[in-house]
Amino acid sequence: MPVRRLVTSALASTALALTSLGAVTVTATPAAADPCGFYETSADAFYNHCTSDGSRVVIEVRVAMAPDYERCVGPGKTWLGSASKIQGAHYVGRTC
């Protein structure tokens, strides 16, 4: 019986270590690409319109201590301003 417990524990530890290593690898990969929608870096705020059809969409930009506004953005990454001033942005459901 002690041998069976030792083998089971060793296999469980190995599986846990491999799973943890895999999780680190998977989470590190997407950070390299710009995510779709609103995102911030340490200094700037962006909206990335991910599309393959070339459409332009209207987004609402939420601004700290100022009125929110709508903006038409095309495919790809659009700089919205300083991350300290822009609180978020979202697609409003229409094209422009």
Tens of pLDDT along 52-85? 999 999 999 999 999 999 999 999 999 999 999 9
For the ranges 21-25, 38-42, 49-53, 62-66, the lowest mean pLDDT is seen at 21-25
> Residue 1: is its pLDDT beyond 50?
no
HSE-up of 91 (CA within 13 Å, CB side)?
16
The pLDDT score that the predictor gives to residue 33 is 74
Whether residue 3 has pLDDT greater than 70: no
Cα–Cα distance, 66 to 88 (Å, whole number): 13
| CA neighbor of 95 nearest in space, from 75, 78, 79 | 75
The pTM of this model reads 0.65
- The predicted structure's pLDDT at residue 34: 84
Please give the mean pLDDT across all residues of the chain: 79
